[in-house]
Structure 1
């Protein structure tokens, strides 16, 4: 009987030793000392995680350079003014109106059938600036010395102003329609002078519009109208 108990005791001890050895192997496998029940072990090769950089390693410098601040250049020329002036920021002055005169106008003298014995003067501004026609034309036929008077009733309310390309008008009553005029004669040349602001002086050069080939008949009743803005106003007298 004692021999049987001894054999059983040895068998039990051997079984316990085997169980402890298996438990020790399992603890080495998961590093925790206990293996979770039902967990399957991987059969393929285990992927190796990349080594993390050392905490002492320096981060690489950025490849994008920083934009340095551009220094001001006091010698650089300033941009031109948008107003078209001299660079002071003020706009360029516009053309100041001038007095109309022969070098900046074109004058045409055309005989009229109605009113009878009248000549129409048309003055066109051919310059690039606005001009003023002051008073009335100082006309000279041939070698006459006196300037014909103006019809006072024809004085306009305002000075006639001509922009580039615009025209002004005046008519010349050459002779009395009833023949009552004296010192009648035929003239073949005409000079038209332009008055200044005061009306007492001529300004610039005169105009020399051609007359008809057979000339025009004038007498001492000759008179002119003031400059008018329209042709209709010029031929009313």
Structure 2
């Protein structure tokens, strides 16, 4: 019995060891099979379609991408997909379209609007002109103070800035000459009128103390405008209305230079 046990003990251990080797081999084989399948799958391109770069978009997906890219600029297609191309072609502003993204396309559109606005602004501006009858409106209003004074108001009715040079050359009734200017009233700068703005000058009609000569009543008035050189009148004259009873003038008649403010005009 002792020999039997001794003889069988190594065999049992051998069988057990063999079984252990077999199990280890099977485990290794299963592990290798799993790894092999996974590696093979990646090599042959059978990865899950969640990876967007491994699968081409369908027609519907392309169309959806194009609509989103051109409409809102948030398409995930970027510069490589159909949406990027559509956005690039749509961005006609000149600054967009190189990246092909929806955002760049919108930036191009803004460029167009800015360029359009710039052109409109340039068209509305223009070189200043000389103020004269065709681009202004002139009124004449007798003043109670100072006495025997009249205020001339010239308003720019044109679309461009105009310059009021010198002083008004006024003719009352059938007078053959224009009255002199008060030299001390000359302003430091040429009167400049933006569209809608007004310039002023006052007319001393008669001596306040009655010392003037050749006094008479007139019922019409013509105002001529000077050019930059100050030699003669330019453009069209103005014919402001006078009160129905007319105004009284004498030989002391004189005018001021054009002024930017009414207060400066009536201070002489």
Q: Give TM-score scaled by structure 1 length.
A: 0.70
* CA shift for structure 1 position 149: 1.7
- Structure 2 residues not aligned, in runs of 5+: 23-29, 48-53, 58-76, 95-110
| Aligned: 1:186 with 2:176 | no
Aligned with 1:28 (options 6, 18, 23): 18
* Count of equivalent residues: 206
- Structure 1 residues not aligned, in runs of 5+: 1-10, 33-47
> Match of 2:44?
58
Which has the larger helix fraction?
2
| Aligned: 1:103 with 2:134 | yes
Distance 2:178 2:165 in 1: 16
Larger CA deviation: 111-120 vs 57-66: 57-66
- 1:97-152 deviations in Å (ceiling 9; x for gaps): 22112233232211112222211112223333332111110112233332222122
Distance 2:5 2:209 in 1: 167
> Match of 2:147?
116
Larger CA deviation: 175-184 vs 144-153: 175-184
* CA shift for structure 1 position 226: 1.2
> Match of 1:5?
none
The two structures, once aligned, show a CA RMSD in angstroms of 3.4
Aligned with 1:147 (options 167, 172, 178): 178
* CA shift for structure 1 position 21: 3.3
- 1:18-77 deviations in Å (ceiling 9; x for gaps): 323322321222018xxxxxxxxxxxxxxx66643275952447126792796x98xx67
| Aligned: 1:19 with 2:9 | yes
Pair member with larger Rg: 1
* CA shift for structure 1 position 81: 9.0
> Match of 1:40?
none
Distance 2:195 2:227 in 1: 19
